[in-house]
Chain A
Amino acid sequence: MSLDDAQIVNVNNPQQPSSPDTTLQRHVLDLGSKRSRDSERYSSISMSHREINDGDARLVHVNDALKTNERFEFAGNSIKTAKYSLFSFLPRNLFEQFHRVAYIYFLIIAILNQLPQLAVFGRGASILPLSFVLLVTAVKDAYEDWRRHRSDRIENNRMASVLVSDRFQQKKWKDIQVGEIIRFSADDTIPCDTVLLSTSDPTGVAYIQTINLDGESNLKTRYAKQETLCKTPEKDVINGFIKCEKPNRNIYGFMATMEIDGKHLSLGPSNIVLRGCVLKNTNWAVGVAVYCGRETKAMLNSSGAPSKRSRLETRMNREIILLSVFLVALCMAVSVCAGVWLKRHENELEVLQFYRKKDYSEPEVENYNYSGIGMEIFFTFLMSVIVFQIMIPISLYISMELVRVGQAYFMIRDNKMYDETSNSRFQCRALNINEDLGQIKYVFSDKTGTLTENKMEFKYASIFGVDYSGEKTNFEGEQRGYSIQVNGQVWRPKMKVEVDKELLELSKDGNNTEAGKHIYDFFLALAACNTIVPIVVDTPDPAEKLVDYQGESPDEQALVYAAAAYGFMLMERTSGHIVIDIQGERQRFNVLGMHEFDSDRKRMSVILGFPDGSVKVIVKGADNSMFNIIDKTLNLDILKATEGHLQSYSSIGLRTLVVGMRELGVPEFERWQSSYETASTAVMGRVALLRKVAINLENNLEIVGASAIEDRLQKGVPEAIESLRKADMKVWVLTGDKQETAISIGYSSRLLTSNMHQVVINSNSKMSSKTSLEDALITCRNFLVPGGSDGNTTSVALIIDGTSLVYILDTELEEQLFELASNCAVVLCCRVAPLQKAGIVALIKKRTDDMTLAIGDGANDVSMIQMADVGIGISGQEGRQAVMASDFAMGQFRFLVPLLLVHGHWNYHRMGYMILYNFYRNAVFVLVLFWYVLFTGFTLTTAITEWSSVLYSILYTSVPTIVVAILDKDSSRRSLMAYPQLYGAGQRHESYNSTLFWLTIADTLWQSIVVFYVPLFAYWKSDIDGSSLGDLWTLAVVFLVNIHLAMDVIRWTWVSHASIWGSIIATCICVVIIDVIPVLPGYWAIFDLASKGSFWVCLLGMSIAAVVPRFGVKMFIQHCKPSDIQIAREADKFGSSMELARQEIELNPSRR
C-alpha cells in the first residue's frame, strides 16, 4: 500500500496529464548510467512536488523548540514501530486477522452453529478450528511485536548531543524536538531529519553514508549553507527560521527556505541529512532538526513488501466458486429432501416425539421445535452448510501460506543462488507468487547492471577527431600506474586503468603541441566535469595513500580514474573549488557553478574558473544531446570523424559520452552568474528556472572529444539467456542505451544470432511508425511461412527505439506492435524511458494471458518491475530502489535460470498438485457425510463424531499435503537444468487446469461412493451402531486420502514417510482417544469394531477398490501419453543417455 505509492511518486505518475513538452522529454533517455538515474530521480521528484506555499509549510524556529511546536502538532523523536500495546493487542490483532475472507467464513459458520436451532456441533468442536488458527497467528504476532518493542526501546534511548541553554548536552533520542540544534561526531547515526548549519569542513561539506536508507554504500556529499557556516551555536545566537515542506516520504527531495539574520536562503536535498544516515569523513556537523520520529523520511518509508496474487490462486478461486456451487447444490438437495420427508410424514409427526405437535402433559396443545415445513427447510439448509462447511477448503489458504513460506525457505537457502561478490542471498519479498515463477512466458530485462556488471572501465578515447584505441598496456609490471608526491607521501588512485601508450606519451607533452593541447582539455574536462569526491584512504604502508573516488555514477568514476591514470588526478573537491594534479603540478580551479544532470537535457556542465582568470563552461553528455548544442560551423570534419568513432565504439557495445567546452567572456559570464543566483535561490519553480539557465548557457560548444566505456557482461549471461529461450520464454531487452550498443550486447549475450533476421524500426513520426510497422509485419510473415525449406525457419528479431515507441504506445498502433512482437523471437528496445518500459510490459500483459517477468536493478526499472506479474530486482551497484519494489531479489542475472527452471517449476507443480489434492481431500469427506445424510431422514446426523469432523482437516490430513507440497520434486534439478524445455509444463498449465479439476472431482465422487457404500452394504441389516460405523468411515477416509497422496508422491524422503504414515497413526490414536471418553456416545466402539473380521475386510477392500481406477488411468496415461517430466524422470532413473539419442534425432529428422 505504502511502498507502491512511494514508487509512483518517483517515476512520474502515469495518469498525470503531461504537457507535450514532458512527453517528448520522457522518451529521450539518459546515459543509462547510475548518475543519470539518480539525477532523474531528483528531478522527477522535485517536479512532481508543488513548490511550497504557506498553507503546506512547516515553520521551524532555529533553536527554539517551544515556539516551533507551539501548537503541539509536530511529532517528537520517539518512534513506535510496535503495533500493539498490552491492552490494544487483543482487539486490534483480532481486527486485523479478520481482514481475511476465510476467517469471516469460519466465523459465520461458528456463529450459526451457536444458534440453538442449528447447533450441529457442540460448542467446543465448532469453535476449535477458528480459535486454533487465531491463536497461532496471535502468538506469532505477539512475538514479533515484542521484538519491535525491544528494538524501539533500544532506538529511543540512544544518546545524542543537543544544544540546551547554550551548551551541548547528552539527550536521549526520544526527547529530541523539532527546532533543536544537534551536534554529530564522525560515525554518529543521525537521529532525525536535520538541516545542516555547519560542519568541521571550512566549506561546509559533510559526507554521509545512506546504507540504512537506500542501501547505497558510497559516500554522498551534503552541504551547510555559507551563511550559517561561521556561526558557533554555543556563542552566537542563531536567529531565524526554516520554512519547509510537510513531512513526506520522498527521500530524494527536500524543499525549504531559511531566513537567517534577515537573509533569505534556499535549501534543497543536498542540505538535509536524514535519520538513519551515518556521518563519515567529517569530524563534526551541526544541524537543526526539522522532522522528528515518525515524520522522518526514513520512518515514512518503512513499509512492507508489495502483495500480489498469483495466477494459480486466481484460477483456483474460479474453482472455489464452482465448489461453492456444489456446496449449495448439496445443501439444496438435503433441504428439499428433508421438506419432502416432513411432508410425507406430516401426520406421523405427532408420534415422532422430536417433532411433537401436541404436548399431552399439558392441557393446551404446544409445538415442540417444529416451526412449519418452510422454516424447517430453511434450518436444514443452514445446518447442512455447517455440516458440509469444509467443502470450501478454507484450510487450503492457510496451507498455501505455509507452503509458500517453506518454498521461500528453500529458495533463500539455495547455495546456487548465493552471490559471492555482493555477499547476498536470494530474497523473497513477496510471499504470494512463488508458483508464478513456474509459468513465465515473457522476460523483460534491463541491460545495464542486469545483463552487465555495471562496473565501468574506460576503454577508448576520441580526442578532437583522433581515435586513440591502440594497444593497451597494464602498468602492473613496470610502474604501478600514475602516482604523485604529497608531503612526502605517495598518492595513487585506488583503481588501475589500462592505458593507451601513445596517448600517455602525448598527454605528457602538455600544452606544447596541438594534439597535446586537445588532450589536456579532454582530460581536464573528465577530471573536472563531475560530482566525484576524492577520499584519501590509508594503506598499510604509511608512505603510501590511495585516492578513492566516491560518487554516485560508475561512469563518472571510470572517467575520473582514467584521467588520473593519464596524469590528471583530482585531489580535492569542496563546494567552491577543485584541486587537480596535472602531470605533477597542482592546480586549483574555482567551481563557479554546476548544472547537474537531468534526463531532459541529458548532460551536465560545470563553469570553471581557471588559475589564469579565464572562465570556461565544460559540458559532458549523451551524443545526441551534445551534437545539438555543438557549434557546427567549427571543425565540421572533426565532428564527422568523432561521429564515426562513436559509431564504431557503440557497435562493439561500449557506452559513449561526448565532451564539449567553451570559453565565456566577461559579460556573458556575469549575465549567467546573476541569473544563476536568482534561479538557485528562487522559492517557486527553482528546478525549472535552473534548467532554463543551463539551456541558455550550454550552446555553441566546441567539441573536445568522446569517451568510450566498457560495461562487461555478467558471468553466465549468454548461457542463461540461451536456457531461457530454450524454455520457450521470450526475452526482451529494454535499455536506455543506443541502438548499436544494444545490438552488440544482444550479440554478445547470444540474444541475437547470425541467422536471425533483424527488423529495425526507427521512426520520427506517427505516420512513419505506422508504415514501418506494416512493412515489418509483412517481412515477418514472409519469414514465418516455412517456404518449403527444411523446417529451419529463420527467426526474426525486432529492434525498436524509444522515439518510435512514443508514437506507438497508447495509440491504435499498439495492436500492430503486439502482433509483430509476438511473432518475433527476440525484441530489443533501445533508448526507452522508464515509463515506456512499463508501457511495453503492459502491452503484453493486457493482450495475453501469459505471465510476464521483469528484471532490473535501477530506479528506472521500478515501474516495469511493478507492472510485470513477477518483478525481480538485482541487488547490485545501483542501490536498492529496484529491490524495494521487487517481489524477489537476487545478486546475478544468471540466477534467473535456477530460479525459474528449477524452483519455479517445482513451486508451480507442488502448488498445483496441492490445490487439487485439497479439493479432493475435503470433497471426499463431505460426500461421505452427504451420502449418510440420505439414510438419516435428511436430518444431518453425522456418524463420524464431531471431533473427528473438526480434526479431519486440521490434524488427520493436513501435515502430509503441506510436507509434500514443500518437499516433493517432480523432476531432479539436474534434468530441469539440462532440459530447459521441461519448463513448458508450467507454461501449458499442466499441473492445474480445468480438465484436471473435473477428473479430480470425478475421482472424488467414485472414491466417496466406495468409502460410503461398501460398509453400508456390508453392515446393512446388522446390529452395528452409529459410532462404530462412523469410526470405520473416519479411518477409511483418512487411509484413503493418505494412500492417494502416497501414490502421487514422487520422491520419498524420510520426511514424507514420517508425515504420511505418521498421520495415519495419529488418526488411529485420536480415534482411540475419542472412544475411551465414557461420556461420549461412541464409548469403546472402535475396540468392539476392530475385534470383528468384517471391519478389517471392509477397510482393506475400500482402500484398494477406491484407488484402483485412479491407478489404472494414471498408468495408462503414463504409458501412452507420457508427459515430458515423466520421460525425464525415467531417463534420470534408468540413466539412458537422453543426450545421445536426442542428437541422433536431430541429425535424422525423417525417422518415424
Chain B
Amino acid sequence: MKTYYYSLLQPILFLPQITNADMNPVTNGALKSKKTSKKPEYSRFTQQELPAWKPILTPGWVITSFLAIAFLFIPIGLVSLFASERVVEIVYRYDQDCVPEMYRGNVSAYIRNSLTNKTCIGNITVPKKMDPPIFVYYQLDNFYQNHRRYVKSRSDKQLRSAAYESSTKECEPEARFNKSGDPVPIVPCGLIAWSLFNDTYNLIKKDKVLNINKKGIAWKSDTKVKFGSNVYPKNFQSNDLIGGGKLNESIPLSKQEDLIVWMRTAALPTFRKLYGKINTSLEAHDTITVVLENNYNTYSFGGQKKLVLSTTSWIGGKNDFLGIAYLTVGGICLFMALNFILLYVFKPRPLGDPSYLSWNRKAVN
C-alpha cells in the first residue's frame, strides 16, 4: 500500500491535471475552438522582474550601521541612567519586625487571629529631597499573583455590570457563599478579590500626619468602564476562611480603588502596587514615622512585605538596568565597528571579486 499523502492544494485551478474537465470533450472543445496562444502574458510580476531595491551591505554600510547603533544607544543609556539616578526611593521592610516577639515561633497563629493587635510602628529616613508627587507603594516579594489558578479566578463580567452578578463560573472556589443552605453569589467573586491586600499605612512627619491621597490610584479606564458603578459588594469574605481585606458594601466597585489596583494582577512574583500619593515634598534627613496595621498574611508562604516611597521620572521608578543595558549594547557596537574597520583595512576583499568564487579558488589551488 502506498502512503497516502493528501495534498491540500493539489487540485488548485491553474495547475494542469487530468480532471473531469480534461476528460470532457465538450469543455475541451470549447477551449480548443478559441485557438488562443497559451503564451503567458508578459508582466513584470509574472516574470519576477518587479522593480526592487537590492541593498548590499558594503563595508561602509556595516561600519555605519554599527556606529549608528552605538551613537544612538550610548546617549539613550546615559539619559536613562541619569533619570534613574534622580529617582529617590525609600524601601522599608516590615513583615518581620512587626510580629511581636512572643508570636515569632508561631506567626500563623498571630496573623490569623483577628483579636491580636496588629498595629506596628517604625521609622524611615528620607535620604534626599523628594519632590511631589511622591508615590506610596506596597511591595510583595515571592507572591505569585501570576499563578495560573489565581489569575483565572475572577469574573470580569460580574465586576462590570450588576446584571451578571451570578456569572461566577470561573471564580471557584470563591464563587458562592452558602447562606443558610442557599448558595448566593459573592461579589466580587474569585480568589483575587478574596485575597485583597489589607495592610494600612499612616505616615507621620514631625507629629503631623502626612496626607496620603488614595484617589486616582487606579487607571481611569478601569474605574470608568471595567468596574461597574452599580455593582456593590455582596457576601464578600463571608466564608469561614478569610483571605484578606473586606469591602464597604455601600460603595460601588468603581469607587473601590484599592480593589481595582489589586485586581490588576502583577506580572512578576515581586511586585509593587500603588497605595497612594503624597503631594508634599519631603526634605533630606526627614524622619518619618510609619504607623501600620499588619493584617495581611504573607507568612504562610514566606512572602515579604515592604513599604516603598518613591518619586518618578520619565523612565518610571528607580531602575538602572535599562541604562546599563543600553550602554553595554552601544559599547559593543562601537567595539564591533572598530573591529570591522580593522578587518576591512587588513584583510580587504574587493566586492564581486570573482577570484573568491569557489570554482575559481579550486582552479587556482
Interface, chain A (partner B; CB < 8 A)? 1, 4, 81, 96-97, 99-100, 137, 140, 144, 147-148, 151-152, 154-155, 158, 189, 212, 276, 278, 298-299, 301-305, 307, 309, 345, 348, 351-356, 359-361, 368-369, 398, 401-402, 404-405, 408-410, 412-415, 418, 420, 423-425, 427-429, 431-432, 791, 884, 889, 935-937, 939-941, 943, 967, 969, 973, 979, 981, 984, 1014, 1016-1030, 1050-1055, 1078-1081, 1083-1084, 1087-1088, 1092-1094, 1097-1098, 1100-1101, 1104-1105, 1108, 1111-1112, 1115-1116, 1118-1120, 1122, 1124, 1127-1134, 1136, 1138, 1141-1142, 1145-1146, 1149, 1151-1152
Given A307-B5, A361-B240, A1119-B59, residue A1108 in contact with residue B20 (CB < 8 A): no
- Min distance, Cβ B245 to any Cβ of chain A, angstroms: 15
Q: Complex Cα distance A576/B204, Å?
A: 127
Q: Complex Cα distance A1087/B357, Å?
A: 53
List residues of chain B with CB within 8 A of the CB of A1141: 353-355
List residues of chain B with CB within 8 A of the CB of A1028: 267
Can you pick out 22 interface pairs between chain A and chain B where the beta carbons lie within 8 Å of each other?
Answer: A81-B23, A140-B12, A212-B22, A299-B23, A301-B18, A354-B173, A401-B9, A402-B9, A413-B40, A423-B37, A432-B7, A937-B269, A984-B359, A1018-B319, A1052-B53, A1081-B154, A1083-B222, A1093-B315, A1101-B329, A1108-B329, A1108-B336, A1133-B352
| Ranked 9 nearest A-B pairs via Cβ | A1131-B352, A354-B149, A1130-B352, A1084-B221, A939-B148, A81-B20, A413-B46, A1029-B267, A360-B240
Q: Complex Cα distance A404/B266, Å?
A: 45
Of the candidates A936, A1024, A1051, A1134, the one whose C-beta lies within 8 Å of that of B352 is A1134
**Residue B38 interfacial (CB < 8 Å):** yes
**Residue B54 interfacial (CB < 8 Å):** yes
Q: Are A100 and B173 in contact (CB under 8 A)?
A: no
Q: Are B38 and A424 in contact (CB under 8 A)?
A: yes
Of the candidates B73, B315, B356, the one whose C-beta lies within 8 Å of that of A1104 is B73
Q: Are A353 and B364 in contact (CB under 8 A)?
A: no
Q: Are B15 and A428 in contact (CB under 8 A)?
A: yes
How would residues 17 to 46 of chain B score, 1 for a CB under 8 Å from any chain A CB and 0 otherwise? 111111111111000000001111010001
CB-nearest residue of chain B to A1021: B270
Q: List the count of A-B residue pairs having beta carbons below 8 Å apart.
A: 367
Q: Complex Cα distance A405/B319, Å?
A: 51
Q: Are A307 and B173 in contact (CB under 8 A)?
A: no
Q: Are B353 and A352 in contact (CB under 8 A)?
A: no
**Residue B252 interfacial (CB < 8 Å):** no
- Min distance, Cβ B167 to any Cβ of chain A, angstroms: 10
Q: Are B57 and A1118 in contact (CB under 8 A)?
A: yes
Q: Are A936 and B301 in contact (CB under 8 A)?
A: no
CB-nearest residue of chain A to B243: A353
Q: Are B26 and A1088 in contact (CB under 8 A)?
A: no
- Which of B126-134, B207-215, B285-293, B341-349 touches A? B341-349
List residues of chain B with CB within 8 A of the CB of A189: 25-26
List residues of chain A with CB within 8 A of the CB of B195: 353
Q: Are B225 and A1083 in contact (CB under 8 A)?
A: yes
List residues of chain B with CB within 8 A of the CB of A158: 26
Q: Are A1115 and B57 in contact (CB under 8 A)?
A: yes
Q: Complex Cα distance A4/B4, Å?
A: 13
Q: Complex Cα distance A302/B20, Å?
A: 7
Q: Are B26 and A154 in contact (CB under 8 A)?
A: yes
Q: Complex Cα distance A707/B22, Å?
A: 40
List residues of chain A with CB within 8 A of the CB of B28: 212
CB-nearest residue of chain A to B176: A361
- Which of B92-100, B114-122, B139-147, B276-284 touches A? B139-147
**Residue B162 interfacial (CB < 8 Å):** no
Q: Are A1081 and B26 in contact (CB under 8 A)?
A: no
- Min distance, Cβ B344 to any Cβ of chain A, angstroms: 7
Q: Are B325 and A1101 in contact (CB under 8 A)?
A: yes
Of the candidates B73, B226, B267, B343, the one whose C-beta lies within 8 Å of that of A1078 is B226
Q: Are A144 and B11 in contact (CB under 8 A)?
A: yes
- Min distance, Cβ A98 to any Cβ of chain B, angstroms: 9
Q: Are A412 and B14 in contact (CB under 8 A)?
A: yes
Q: Complex Cα distance A235/B340, Å?
A: 99
Q: Complex Cα distance A148/B119, Å?
A: 83
List residues of chain B with CB within 8 A of the CB of A356: 173
Q: Complex Cα distance A1051/B55, Å?
A: 7
Q: Complex Cα distance A1149/B194, Å?
A: 84
Q: Are A1127 and B326 in contact (CB under 8 A)?
A: no
Of the candidates A81, A355, A1097, the one whose C-beta lies within 8 Å of that of B76 is A1097
Of the candidates B23, B39, B156, the one whose C-beta lies within 8 Å of that of A212 is B23
Task: Contacts A1026-B265, A1027-B264, A1127-B354 known; list 16 others, CB within 8 Å.
Answer: A155-B24, A302-B20, A305-B17, A307-B7, A361-B239, A368-B172, A412-B40, A414-B46, A941-B151, A1084-B219, A1084-B221, A1094-B319, A1105-B325, A1133-B56, A1134-B56, A1151-B355
Q: Are A354 and B6 in contact (CB under 8 A)?
A: no
- Min distance, Cβ A95 to any Cβ of chain B, angstroms: 10
List residues of chain A with CB within 8 A of the CB of B27: 151, 154
List residues of chain A with CB within 8 A of the CB of B297: 351
Interface, chain B (partner A; CB < 8 A)? 2, 4-28, 37-40, 42, 46-48, 50-57, 59, 62, 65, 69, 73, 76, 80, 137, 139, 144, 146-151, 153-154, 156-157, 160, 172-174, 178, 191, 194-195, 219, 221-222, 225-226, 239-241, 243, 264-274, 297, 300-301, 314-317, 319, 321-322, 325-326, 329, 332-333, 336, 340, 343-344, 347, 349-360, 363-364
List residues of chain A with CB within 8 A of the CB of B25: 189, 212, 276, 278
Q: Are B39 and A420 in contact (CB under 8 A)?
A: yes
CB-nearest residue of chain A to B80: A1097
Of the candidates A151, A1018, A1111, the one whose C-beta lies within 8 Å of that of B20 is A151
Q: Are B151 and A1019 in contact (CB under 8 A)?
A: no
- Min distance, Cβ B107 to any Cβ of chain A, angstroms: 12
Q: Complex Cα distance A1094/B321, Å?
A: 11
List residues of chain B with CB within 8 A of the CB of A352: 147, 301
Of the candidates A137, A154, A1124, A1133, the one whose C-beta lies within 8 Å of that of B357 is A1124
Given A414-B40, A431-B7, residue A1145 in contact with residue B353 (CB < 8 A): no
Q: Are A354 and B150 in contact (CB under 8 A)?
A: yes
List residues of chain A with CB within 8 A of the CB of B268: 935, 1016, 1019-1020, 1024, 1029
CB-nearest residue of chain A to B26: A154
Interface centre among A359, A418, A937, A1030 (most CB of B within 10 A): A937
Interface centre among A96, A212, A404, A1055 (most CB of B within 10 A): A212
Q: Are A981 and B358 in contact (CB under 8 A)?
A: yes
Q: Are A298 and B23 in contact (CB under 8 A)?
A: yes
- Min distance, Cβ A278 to any Cβ of chain B, angstroms: 7
Q: Complex Cα distance A307/B147, Å?
A: 49
- Min distance, Cβ A890 to any Cβ of chain B, angstroms: 11
List residues of chain A with CB within 8 A of the CB of B73: 1101, 1104
Q: Are A1052 and B55 in contact (CB under 8 A)?
A: yes
List residues of chain A with CB within 8 A of the CB of B9: 140, 401-402, 404-405, 431
Given A360-B239, A412-B40, A427-B16, residue A1079 in contact with residue B160 (CB < 8 A): yes
Q: Complex Cα distance A984/B358, Å?
A: 9
Of the candidates A1018, A1080, A1081, A1151, the one whose C-beta lies within 8 Å of that of B321 is A1018
- Min distance, Cβ A1082 to any Cβ of chain B, angstroms: 9
Q: Are B7 and A1097 in contact (CB under 8 A)?
A: no
List residues of chain B with CB within 8 A of the CB of A1023: 137, 266, 271-274
CB-nearest residue of chain B to A1092: B316
Q: Are B56 and A1129 in contact (CB under 8 A)?
A: yes
Q: Complex Cα distance A884/B18, Å?
A: 9
Q: Complex Cα distance A1118/B343, Å?
A: 12
List residues of chain B with CB within 8 A of the CB of A1111: 65
Q: Are A410 and B322 in contact (CB under 8 A)?
A: no
CB-nearest residue of chain B to A1114: B57
Given A432-B5, A1083-B225, A1105-B329, residue A302 in contact with residue B19 (CB < 8 A): yes
- Min distance, Cβ B136 to any Cβ of chain A, angstroms: 11
Of the candidates A4, A299, A1014, A1127, the one whose C-beta lies within 8 Å of that of B353 is A1127
List residues of chain A with CB within 8 A of the CB of B239: 360-361
